[in-house]
Amino acid sequence: MMLGDPQAWKRRLVSLDERILQRILYVWNGCVGRLQGQPEEDDITINLVDLLVNDPVVRTLCHWIEYQFEPFGIDDQGATFSKGIIDLAVLLDWDRETYLPYECKRLNTVHQGKRSSLATPYVNEGLMRFVTEQYAEGLPVGCMLGYVMDGDLPFGLQQVQAAITANATPLRARGGVTNGGALPSIERFSTGHERAGPTWIEVRHVLLPFAAIDLPRGGSGGWEPQKASNKTSNVSDFKRAAREHESKFSPK
């Protein structure tokens, strides 16, 4: 449960997203190097999570990163049920209600020479779930990762933003699209949405090309890309990491 100043929580989650994004970019080449052709969304995400949980910097940032995290709801009888499956969740501590969610979608898939933008599913089966609070209930920040399979970021960005604009009313979008800070090899923007209550959520979007990326090396930001790796961790690695690292983001 999120207790304390909502704005303070939002600042913490935004800061955490910035640092997790740095590590996503750091391991991205290793993730791409493991997979061939046009892999499915789940195949990309599980390899991305595997690389992140074994990254020593990530282990200082959060309690755990969970693949296919299921947030709980409570029915009228007080029984707990699953509200669905979030592709990737950064857990701050043992509290399952406080996390940074990432919904992942493929974009610009190519089949038999024909390209499908998949921008509509990105919006209706991804972004919309933050608006309805199926994901990130009561939380001020959510995230979307778009895997741009053909590497055409400008087209992917154009199609996604057009789909958001076309669905502005059901998305309860407020304030339009805000461009994110410039980073090489990716596209970033954010959208704001009114939810029941009323409350607001900022959804932070990142589009990544499904290809090796070239980032500035060195520096305190840790942007040096990781080389491709075929190493896959076993379950004991995940459990050991979960025991060893606790969140540094609990509100004071």
Q: Is 20 contained in some domain?
A: yes
pLDDT digits (tens, 9 = 90+) for 22-68: 999 999 999 999 999 999 999 999 999 999 999 999 999 989 999 99
Q: Is 128 contained in some domain?
A: yes
Better-scored residue on pLDDT, 77 or 161: 161
Q: Is 252 contained in some domain?
A: no
Q: Is 223 contained in some domain?
A: no
Better-scored residue on pLDDT, 143 or 243: 143
Q: Is 220 contained in some domain?
A: no
131 contacts: CB under 8 Å, gap ≥ 6: 170, 171, 172, 193, 195, 201
Owning domain of residue 51: 6-214+238-244
Report the SS3 class of residue 11.
helix
Q: Is 112 contained in some domain?
A: yes
Q: Is 225 contained in some domain?
A: no
Q: Is 224 contained in some domain?
A: no
Number of structural domains in the chain? 1
Neighbours of 6 (CB within 10 A): 14
Mean pLDDT of the chain, nearest integer: 83
